Each structure stands twice: as structure tokens, then as C-alpha cells.
Amino acid sequence: MTEYSLNLLGGQWVKGQIRKALSGFYYVATADDTLYQTRGRGNFRKRKLTPLVGDWVEFESSSLTDGYILDLLPRKNELVRPPVANVDLGIVVISMVEPAFSYNLLDRFLVNLEYKDIEPVIYLSKLDLVTEKAQVEKVIATYQAIGYEVVALADPAANIALLKKLFHDKLSVFMGQSGAGKSTLLNKIQPNLNLATAAISDYLGRGKHTTRHVELLEIGGGLVADTPGFSSLEFQEITPQELPRMFPEFVQAAPFCKFRECQHVNEPGCEVKRRVEKGEIATTRYDNYLQFLSEIEKRRPIYKKNK
């Protein structure tokens, strides 16, 4: 973090991070945790730039409530849903029951996090409602074998303590299907937040969105964004060639494939398919890969309009 320097207008030209975006205002925190209310300059629209929560920015301000963002500093990544930049950790809250557990949905989240170079953490919720304990053990074993961190301890307090350790010095984002319990979990982690929660709809089988804006919360020595849940994810940017690299176990096997650019579908001498047959790669993961690949290959190209 750089020190303050004087702006020509007599205010302070400061580097800070956007912690909250609400009603056209951006709330920027500086090195000493002072929070400034700012607006974006009009030229951001001309440059087709939108400041996001998590962005590092340079801004000027003559008071705590009257500032303007002058420039956005380079991002290492950004998410569209939720709109957050510079994310380190993606905590996928996935329910085992109500709504029912889905390997397909979990893998969609993981693939998108891998693509954005965000470290995934899997949090299994509603374990107290599970009757088939073997199912939980299978899920844990499947993803731990890949190398993913899975938080699924029997003691809820121990789960929260583990999450807090993971937050330290990182910007973390919660995601998962609606009704999985993200806001409930954050309320347990930091009770004074009082985040709104909503019950599961019996008709739809999923929860209502309860989070209305994006804000970074100081928890466990890091920053955490509470985000809306959503029940489906599409692959808008990933190419067919990139998709195999979003599966860590495929990346590990690929050097042993007969063909260098093996897509792990119909090619002879495919190490990924051999490991699936041997049970060394989960069939659910491979089947989801084939489905995702088909979706990407059938995706309609996006054409940009001429100005």
C-alpha cells in the first residue's frame, strides 16, 4: 500500500480498495482502514470500465464523503456473478440435502474457479440432516483425492474455526446453490453481521436470493464477500481446448496420454480414460467433463456489434 500524495486540487490522491458498492457509490478503504465514499469518473463509461468490489484504485478526496475514483489498477481476476475482483479463495457451499447434493453443480463451480485462478474450498452444509453417511464420505474422498480442501467436520464449531484460518490475508467469496446456507454460515462465523436468510421454497426446492449488494467483510484477518446463491453456471469464456486443464486430475494424467493435445474423448492411448476405467479418476467427474465439453462445443458464438 502506497502512502498518500497530494493532488493538484488540494485533496488527497490515494490508493485504496473498494470494499462496498451501493447505489452508485463506491466505499474505498485506505492503508489505515479509513473508509471514503466515492463516485466513479464519467470517463470509465467511455473506456468501458466498471469498478468492482475488490478493485484496487487510485482516487482523490477532500472529505470522507466526497471523493472520485481516478483510475483502476490491474486486476488478477474478476467474477461476474457476484461482481468481485482480485479474489483469492472461492468457498463453494454445497448442500447435502434440501436442496439435494449435485456432483454436476459442484463441478461447475470448481471449473469456473479454476478458470479464474481462484483457489477452491468445498464446504458441505446441512450434514446434520443427512441419513446416508456413506454418501458424505464418498463426496469427501472424491474431492480430497483431487487435492481440494473439503470442510465437512462433524463439529460445526470446528468447521467455522477451520474456515477462519483459511480467510487470513485473503479475499474470499462464498458461492453455491440457493438455499445452501451461505448467509446462515456467515452469521455463525460473525454473529453481529445479521445477514438476511430465507427458507427453502417447498415448490421450487431452492431458496430465495437474500443478499442485495456486494460488500467485503473483515473476518478472520481477511476479507469475505457474502454473495447471492445461484443454481446454474454456464461456461461463457472457456474453450474446448482449455476445459481439460480445469480438472486437476486430468492435468496430472495428461502427460501420459499418447497425443499431446488429447481431449480425453475418443483418442486412443488416453491416460485419463484409463484412470477412469481403473477407478483412479471419479466417473462422476469424467461424465461431467463430457457434458461440459458438449455444452461448450454447442455454445453459440458471441458477435460484437459494430460501433
42 is in an annotated binding site: no
183 is in an annotated binding site: yes
37 is in an annotated binding site: no
Angle in degrees, CA 277, 280, 281, rounded to 5: 80
38 is in an annotated binding site: no
233 is in an annotated binding site: no
176 is in an annotated binding site: yes
125 is in an annotated binding site: yes
CB-based burial label for 12 (10 Å; 0-12, 13-18, 19+): middle
Q: Decide the pairing of beta strands 149-151 and 5-6.
A: unpaired
CB 286: neighbour CB atoms within 10 A? Answer: 19
172 is in an annotated binding site: no
88 is in an annotated binding site: no
23 is in an annotated binding site: no
270 is in an annotated binding site: yes
184 is in an annotated binding site: yes
135 is in an annotated binding site: no
d(CA 145, CA 159): 20
The Cβ-side half-sphere exposure at 153, using a 13 Å CA radius, reads 10
For residue 71, report the phi and psi dihedrals to the nearest 5 degrees: -155, 150
d(CA 158, CA 173): 20
127 is in an annotated binding site: yes
126 is in an annotated binding site: yes
For residue 85, report the phi and psi dihedrals to the nearest 5 degrees: -115, 160
182 is in an annotated binding site: yes
Annotated binding site for GTP: 125-128, 176-184
Annotated binding site: 125-128, 176-184, 257, 262, 264, 270
Annotated binding site for Zn(2+): 257, 262, 264, 270
